[in-house]
Amino acid sequence: MTKEWTVSGTHPGPEAIEAAAALLRDGALVAFPTETVYGLGADATRTEAVARIFSAKGRPSDNPLIVHIADRSQLDDIVLPYGELATRLMEAFWPGPLTIVLPVREGAVSPLVTAGLTTVGVRVPDHPAALALLAAAGCPVAAPSANRSGRPSPTQAHHVREDLGGRIEGLLDAGPTGVGLESTVIQLLGDHHIHILRPGGVTADALKAAAPEATLSAATEEAPAAPRSPGMKYTHYAPHGLLTLVQGGSREEVAAWINEALRVAKQRGETTGVLTPEEDAPRFAADLVVPCGSLRHPETFAANLYAALRAFDEAGISYILAPTFPTQGIGEAVMNRLTKAAGNRIIQI
């Protein structure tokens, strides 16, 4: 049985927070909202508890977990001394969607959390319910996204219920999360270089602005993050239907190409879907057209993406096409997730 509490996103009640924190201290699994996506938490110091995260999610054991803390006072117990660049980025972005991979203090967290690496990813989430829960629990909390492995990450409590209901002890429901995509994961090379292992809620431009003298690099398809960020090698976020992205030409040309491909797909008996910025939704003739944010506000793509991908599964859609989305700002992280959801299938027209 999963115990559920509905709390306000801004003023979570102390009773629910204390009950959920008590479960964490007992070694149980509790899903909770963060500003990015819902996380599936367990006491990071207890191997039996962390092992249950992997089994509840069906997650490969070589993919390390992010450790969540309420504030920086908990950090020195977990990681070895770090430099000035790390300090500056924490000051600029914590609490917030930035995970910093740092050398781990031996024995500070379960070896399952780090998947045997000598580093650990840490962040302070920017969500009142998450911060209250972490403070009440008093322990560092390992928390991957609270979805079954391979599925889109949960941005609403009912996504968690669908994937993990009955497999976890607690679920704190504070409504939809804000950013909608996971945190940016970075590793630092000394005090002068930032390597982005996973793009996310903090954009490359924001990192540059906070540390103008540091150089920046990013994992790409050609030079993937593995083995530095083992998780990036797995298929992620995929809907059950076959998703393919379509790129090139004007928005009108892309829409015309997609409509023709949908017509052919329908003839062979597929149920069809299109994922699109809302401005272009009226152009498409599919069984299900899912508008996903507005071209005028790229952050709305991020906020809506995972729920949109899940909507195709709810409707049983077998064949899905999507135009590529603009990559300014957080659009880069949106396209990173969308490309993975599409298994790298991008058709150039």
Residues that bind ligand TXA (CB under 6 A): 34, 36-37, 39, 63-66, 97, 99, 101, 114, 117, 119-121, 125, 143-145, 182-183, 185, 197-198, 228-232
Helices marked H in 211-348 — which ranges? 251-267, 299-314, 331-341
What residues are paired with 315 via a beta bridge?
Answer: none
Instruction: Supply the minimum distance, in Å, between the C-beta of residue 283 and ligand TXA.
Output: 33
By CB under 5 A, what part of segment 39-98 binds Mg ion?
A: none
Cβ of 278: how many Cβ atoms within 10 Å? 17
Which are the contacts of 318, defined by CB distance < 8 A and separation ≥ 6? 240, 241, 242, 270, 271, 272
Q: Which two tokens stand for residue 179?
A: 């950013």
- Between 232 and 317, CB nearer to ligand TXA: 232
Three-class SS of residue 197? strand
Dihedral sign (CA 121, 186, 88, 117): positive
- Between 202 and 274, CB nearer to Mg ion: 202
* CA–CA dist 222, 276 (Å, integer): 27
Instruction: Supply the minimum distance, in Å, between the C-beta of residue 269 and Mg ion.
Output: 33
- Between 155 and 300, CB nearer to Mg ion: 155
Residue number of the CB closest to ligand TXA reads 231
Decide: is 145 part of the binding site for Mg ion (CB under 5 A): yes
Q: Is 243 left (phi over 0), alpha (psi -120 to 50) or beta?
A: beta
Decide: is 34 part of the binding site for Mg ion (CB under 5 A): no
Instruction: Supply the minimum distance, in Å, between the C-beta of residue 330 and Mg ion.
Output: 17
Instruction: Supply the minimum distance, in Å, between the C-beta of residue 111 and ligand TXA.
Output: 12
Dihedral sign (CA 78, 80, 86, 87): positive
Residue pair 144/59 in contact by the 8 Å Cβ criterion: yes
Instruction: Supply the minimum distance, in Å, between the C-beta of residue 63 and ligand TXA.
Output: 5
Nearest to 148 by CA among 57, 236, 65, 60: 57
Show the binding pattern over residues 210-229: x = contacts Mg ion (CB under 5 A), - = does not: --------------------
Residue number of the CB closest to Mg ion reads 145
In three state form, how does the secondary structure of 314-340 look?
A: HCCCCEEEEECCCCCCCHHHHHHHHHH
Between helix 128-137 and helix 14-25 the angle, nearest 10°, is 50
If 0-12 CB within 10 Å is exposed, 13-18 middle and 19+ buried, where does residue 306 land? buried
Decide: is 177 part of the binding site for Mg ion (CB under 5 A): no
Nearest to 312 by CA among 234, 265, 242: 242
- Between 46 and 198, CB nearer to ligand TXA: 198
Instruction: Supply the minimum distance, in Å, between the C-beta of residue 326 and ligand TXA.
Output: 22
- Between 183 and 336, CB nearer to ligand TXA: 183
Instruction: Supply the minimum distance, in Å, between the C-beta of residue 91 and Mg ion.
Output: 27
- Between 160 and 317, CB nearer to ligand TXA: 160
* 232 binds, options Mg ion, ligand TXA, none, Cβ within 5 to 8 A by partner type: ligand TXA
Q: Which two tokens stand for residue 41?
A: 């938490």
- Between 83 and 282, CB nearer to ligand TXA: 83
* 117 binds, options ligand TXA, Mg ion, none, Cβ within 5 to 8 A by partner type: ligand TXA
Instruction: Supply the minimum distance, in Å, between the C-beta of residue 346 and ligand TXA.
Output: 22
- Between 41 and 277, CB nearer to Mg ion: 41
* 23 binds, options ligand TXA, Mg ion, none, Cβ within 5 to 8 A by partner type: none
- Between 229 and 272, CB nearer to Mg ion: 229
Instruction: Supply the minimum distance, in Å, between the C-beta of residue 279 and ligand TXA.
Output: 28
* CA–CA dist 306, 341 (Å, integer): 10
Binding residues for Mg ion (CB under 5 A): 145
